[in-house]
């Protein structure tokens, strides 16, 4: 212990200075708990002088040396913008005092029912906390990961700009970071309502135990429901987690969502958010998502937030794209940052991602299709996209650009000129003469894809035949396409299962070829 004390000697703050800042711990209390009291005051510390949070640990409730020194070691060695910073400590005269950066907006639990904390801000807070937890679970440059062990809304602090920071590492445990699954057998500790059921049963703490607790905060839904997960009634502690999970399973989230969030919430944002939160609460640890996946899903939920909540923050506008953008059209060129900062409105959802309308900051509108990064293969996907981008035909909807995501991003993007839904073929299926004209145009486009580009569409329905401003019918949506070599006659792909369009051989063999495209052309799309 002596070596530990010596290592952190520069962080020591004299007791008399802390007493002076808090009127001898007689006022300026900003928090109370089983650990003791938290005060605010102005002191000199390792990073200068300023307003700080001063946590005076209580020996009466067992807050002794182990948790005290553990928190000092953790917060000194593991630093991240979404972890609360330790600025100093005091261990004089039997006192155990920790000094942190001041989070002027307090803890998240105090704001759950706030009518001014709108959906977008709640998403940002969750995303910040997820990034902090992701760092603890997979710290760069460290041999050991940290299992927080007490994730709850009361331990998520908010600074003056509403940036969220994880706090209270006194119960944390460490384990090897080079193992996919880290198990630490320990006495169960944490907060009722947030505890992982498997941890309760086995005393085996894993990083997935933190994931479960985080799911309770995310949705379970405290952020979504605007209330804590537990409530005392008639001397008993009532937990709402089971009820909230059932509401999700029955697709009745509207019954539990905080009423002041309902009007402006974007449905795609809500769905993305609630889906990942529910996954966190899966009973099986193996079925829970990683922190990196949680971060990616929350980024998507934030992107699809409602535009009715006002303009974007400067932080959003400063976002930098880490991927690669390639243009095939020299006119109206936009940057990758322009694309990722665009306001979006989802038009449909596919197996692989989303289709949405994006409005760039200059007012231009584009149509975008996305694919998850996991379906791509090194080099192959980019070669395919470059070939697709070269397709130019009056009856084929040309690709305008594509964006390949970086490792930190969830989706790749295909960009087209925007075509409103009223341009879809299904809107114009009326007169026989019109149908014949449409069929000829689509046939010419399909012939071009088959003979000149060796490309199978694999997903041809009336929904993906669009009418441009010159009344040309264009085949769109190459999301299911796979370029094939000239000697290959068929291709195994995850063919679309739209009722009535699928060729019989596809149902049996799970493969498509040029003939299945023809079946779709001559099938119900024109009947």
- Mean pLDDT by 10-residue block, N- to C-terminus, for the chain (527 residues)? 68 94 89 81 88 85 66 86 93 91 91 87 94 88 78 90 88 67 56 71 81 75 82 74 80 82 75 90 89 91 63 41 79 81 75 77 85 58 77 82 78 81 53 72 80 72 69 65 40 44 45 67 51
Q: Does residue 400 sit in the same domain as residue 491?
A: no
Tell me the helix, strand and coil percentages in the chain, rounded to 5: 40, 20, 40
What are the distances in angstroms from CA 106 to CA 10, 113, 220, 284, 340? 27, 14, 21, 33, 32
Choosing from 101, 127, 144, the residue where a domain stops is 101
Q: Does residue 138 sit in the same domain as residue 269?
A: yes
What are the distances in angstroms from CA 516 to CA 253, 351, 443? 41, 20, 13
Does pTM top 0.75 for this prediction? no
Cβ proximity of 101 and 45 under 8 Å: no
DSSP conformation class of 117: S
Cα 518 to chain center, whole Å? 40
Q: Which helix (H) or strand (E) holds 366?
A: strand 365-372
Q: Does residue 118 sit in the same domain as residue 183?
A: yes
Close Cβ partners of 21 (under 8 Å, ≥ 6 residues apart): 28, 39, 41, 42, 43, 52, 54
Quote the pLDDT of residue 21.
Answer: 93
Tokens of 209: 């135990």
Q: Which helix (H) or strand (E) holds 450?
A: helix 432-452
The catalytic residue among 93, 109, 128, 150 is 150
- Taking the CA atoms of residue 297, residue 302, residue 304 and residue 308 in that order, the dihedral angle to the nearest 10 degrees is 160
How, if at all, do strands 173-176 and 144-147 pair? Answer: antiparallel
For residue 405, the enclosing domain spans: 320-417
Q: Does residue 232 sit in the same domain as residue 375?
A: no
DSSP conformation class of 173: E
Quote the pLDDT of residue 115.
Answer: 83
How, if at all, do strands 324-327 and 236-239 pair? Answer: unpaired
Taking only Cα atoms into account, the Rg of the chain, rounded to an integer number of angstroms, comes to 28
Domain with residue 47: its CATH number is 3.30.200.20
In a domain, 314, yes or no: no
DSSP conformation class of 401: E
In angstroms, the CA 363 to CA 162 distance is: 30
CA nearest neighbour of 289 among 299, 301, 279: 279
In a domain, 202, yes or no: yes
Question: What total number of domains does the chain contain?
Answer: 4
Q: Does residue 152 sit in the same domain as residue 269?
A: yes
Cβ proximity of 33 and 81 under 8 Å: no
Q: Does residue 234 sit in the same domain as residue 374?
A: no
What are the distances in angstroms from CA 385 to CA 333, 405, 460? 18, 13, 19
Active site residue 109: no
Tokens of 218: 């995310």
Q: Which helix (H) or strand (E) holds 327?
A: strand 324-327
In angstroms, the CA 86 to CA 67 distance is: 14
Choosing from 402, 417, 432, the residue where a domain stops is 417
| DSSP calls for 217-266 | HHTSSHHHHTS-SEEEETTEEEE-HHHHHHHHHTT-GGGTS-GGGTTT--
In angstroms, the CA 2 to CA 316 distance is: 46
Q: Does residue 365 sit in the same domain as residue 478?
A: no
Say whether 55 counts as a known binding-site residue.
Answer: yes
Domain with residue 499: its CATH number is 1.10.510.10
Q: Does residue 413 sit in the same domain as residue 433?
A: no
Q: Does residue 246 sit in the same domain as residue 282?
A: yes
Q: Does residue 121 sit in the same domain as residue 241?
A: yes
Q: Does residue 90 sit in the same domain as residue 161?
A: no
Q: Does residue 348 sit in the same domain as residue 332?
A: yes
Choosing from 396, 417, 438, the residue where a domain stops is 417
In a domain, 315, yes or no: no
Quote the pLDDT of residue 233.
Answer: 73
Quote the pLDDT of residue 313.
Answer: 37
- Sequence-ordered strand ranges (E) for 140-207: 144-147, 156-158, 164-166, 173-176, 184-185, 204-205
């Amino acid at each position: 212990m002596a070596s530990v004390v010596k290592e952190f000697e520069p962080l020591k703050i004299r007791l008399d200075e802390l007493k002076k800042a808090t009127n001898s711990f007689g006022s300026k209390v900003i928090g109370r708990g089983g650990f003791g009291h938290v005060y605010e005051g102005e002191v000199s510390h390792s990073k200068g002088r300023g307003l700080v949070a001063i946590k005076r640990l209580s020996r009466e409730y067992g807050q002794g040396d182990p948790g005290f020194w553990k928190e000092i070691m953790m917060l000194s060695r593991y630093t991240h913008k979404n972890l609360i910073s330790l600025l100093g400590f005091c261990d004089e005269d039997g006192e155990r005092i920790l000094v942190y950066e001041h989070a002027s907006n307090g803890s998240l639990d105090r704001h759950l029912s706030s009518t001014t904390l709108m959906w977008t801000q709640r998403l940002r807070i969750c995303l910040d906390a997820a990034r902090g937890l992701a760092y603890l679970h997979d710290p760069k440059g460290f041999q050991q990961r940290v299992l927080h062990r007490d994730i709850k809304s009361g331990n998520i602090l908010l600074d003056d700009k509403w940036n969220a920071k994880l706090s209270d590492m006194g119960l944390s445990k460490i384990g090897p970071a080079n193992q996919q699954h880290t198990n630490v057998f320990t006495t169960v500790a944490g907060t009722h309502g947030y505890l992982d059921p498997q941890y309760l049963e086995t005393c085996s703490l894993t990083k997935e135990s933190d994931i479960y607790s985080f799911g309770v905060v995310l949705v379970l839904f405290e952020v979504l429901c605007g209330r804590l997960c537990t409530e005392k009634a008639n001397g008993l502690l009532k937990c709402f987690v089971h009820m909230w999970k059932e509401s999700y399973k029955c697709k009745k989230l509207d019954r539990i969502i905080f009423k002041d969030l309902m009007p402006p919430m974007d449905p795609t944002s809500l769905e993305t958010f609630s889906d990942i939160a529910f996954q966190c609460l899966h009973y099986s640890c193996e079925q829970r998502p990683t922190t990196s996946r949680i971060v990616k899903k929350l980024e998507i939920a934030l992107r699809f937030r409602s535009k009715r909540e006002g303009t974007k923050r400067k932080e959003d506008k400063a976002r930098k794209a880490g991927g690669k953008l390639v243009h095939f059209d020299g006119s109206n060129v936009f940057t990758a940052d322009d694309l990722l900062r665009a306001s979006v409105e989802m038009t449909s959802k596919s197996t692989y991602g989303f289709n949405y309308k994006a409005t760039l900051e200059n007012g231009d509108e584009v149509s975008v299709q996305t694919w998850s990064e996991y379906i791509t293969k090194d080099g192959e996907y980019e070669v395919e996209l470059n070939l697709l981008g070269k397709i130019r035909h009056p009856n084929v909807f040309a690709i305008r650009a594509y964006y390949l995501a970086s490792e930190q991003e969830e989706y790749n993007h295909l960009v087209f000129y925007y075509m409103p839904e009223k341009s879809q073929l299904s809107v114009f299926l009326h007169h026989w003469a019109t149908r014949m004209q449409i069929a000829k145009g689509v046939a010419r486009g399909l012939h071009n894809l088959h003979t000149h580009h060796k490309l199978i569409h694999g997903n041809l329905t009336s929904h993906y035949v669009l009418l441009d401003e010159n009344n040309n019918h264009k085949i769109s949506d190459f999301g299911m396409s796979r370029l094939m070599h000239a000697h290959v006659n068929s291709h195994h792909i995850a063919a679309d299962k739209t009722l009535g369009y699928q060729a019989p051989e596809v149902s049996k063999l799970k493969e498509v070829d040029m003939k299945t495209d023809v079946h779709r052309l001559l099938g119900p799309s024109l009947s």
